[in-house]
Structure 1
Amino acid sequence: MDAVKGVLQEELEYELKVRERYEEALLALPKGSLSKKRIGGRDYFYLAHREGPTIKTVYVGKADAEEVQAYQANIAKRKRYQRMLKETKRTIRYLKKVLNVKSA
C-alpha cells in the first residue's frame, strides 16, 4: 500500500509542476479574442480583451497581415493550454482526495 501511495504522491508533485508551467505559459500568451470587422469592403481584425469592467479593442491589422495570423495561432495555443490546465487541475483535485492531502 505504501508503494502505491508513493507513486500517487510522485504523480501529485509532477502534476503541480505541470500546472505551474501551464500557468506561466498562459501569462506569455495574449488574452481575449480576435474579432473581424468589415469596413469599406475590407476586413480588419481587432483584439478584444477585458480590463476590469470594460472591454478594450486594439487594432491588429488587415485580414492578410502576418500579425493577425500570429495572433490567431497564439490564441489557439492559449485555448489548448487552458484545456490542459483544466484537466491538470482536475487530476490534482482527484489525487489530493485519494491521498487525503489538505493543501499543496
Structure 2
Amino acid sequence: MNLLLNLILQEKQRIDYMLERYQEELAELPKGTIAEKKVNGKTYFYLKYRDGRKVVSQYVSKRNLEDLQKKLEKRKHIEAMIQSLEEEKRIAVKVLEG
C-alpha cells in the first residue's frame, strides 16, 4: 500500500510541476478572439479581449493574423490541459487524504 501512495504522491508532484509550467506559458500567450470587421468593402481584423470590465479591440495586421491565430489555438489547448490536470490533481489529493 505504501508503494501505491508513494506513486500517487509522485504523480501529484508531476501534476503540480506541469500546472506551473502551463501557467507560465499561458501568461505569455494572447487572450481573446479574432473579430472581422468590414469597412468600405475592406476587411479588417481585431483581437478582442476583456481588460477588467472593459472590452478591448486591438487591430491585427494581415501579416500577423496567422501567427496570432496559432497562438490563440495554442492557448485554448493549454487551457484544456490545465483543466484536465486540475481534475487529475483533485483525484490524487482525495486518494492521498484517505
Q: Could you tell me the TM-score, scaled by structure 1's length? A: 0.90
Report the residue type matching 1:51 in the other structure: D
Unpaired segments ≥5 residues, structure 2: none
- Please say if 1:100 is aligned against 2:97: yes
Distance 2:8 2:20 in 1: 18
- Please say if 1:72 is aligned against 2:78: no
Where has structure 1 moved over 2 Å in runs of 4 or more? Answer: none
Correspondence for 1:56: 56
Any idea what SS the aligned residue of 2:55 has? strand
Any idea what SS the aligned residue of 1:58 has? strand
- Please say if 1:85 is aligned against 2:82: yes
Q: Could you tell me the TM-score, scaled by structure 2's length? A: 0.96
Distance 1:71 1:24 in 2: 18
Correspondence for 2:33: 33
User: Residue deviations 1:51-84, cap 9 Å, x none?
Assistant: 11110101112xxx22011110000000000000
- Please say if 1:15 is aligned against 2:15: yes
Unpaired segments ≥5 residues, structure 1: none
Distance 1:42 1:100 in 2: 60
Q: Count the aligned residue pairs.
A: 98
Distance 1:43 1:84 in 2: 34
Between 1 and 2, higher relative CO (CA 8 Å, sep ≥ 6) is seen in: 2
Percent identity over the alignment?
Answer: 31
Which structure carries more helix by proportion?
Answer: 2
Any idea what SS the aligned residue of 2:45 has? strand
Report the residue type matching 1:89 in the other structure: E
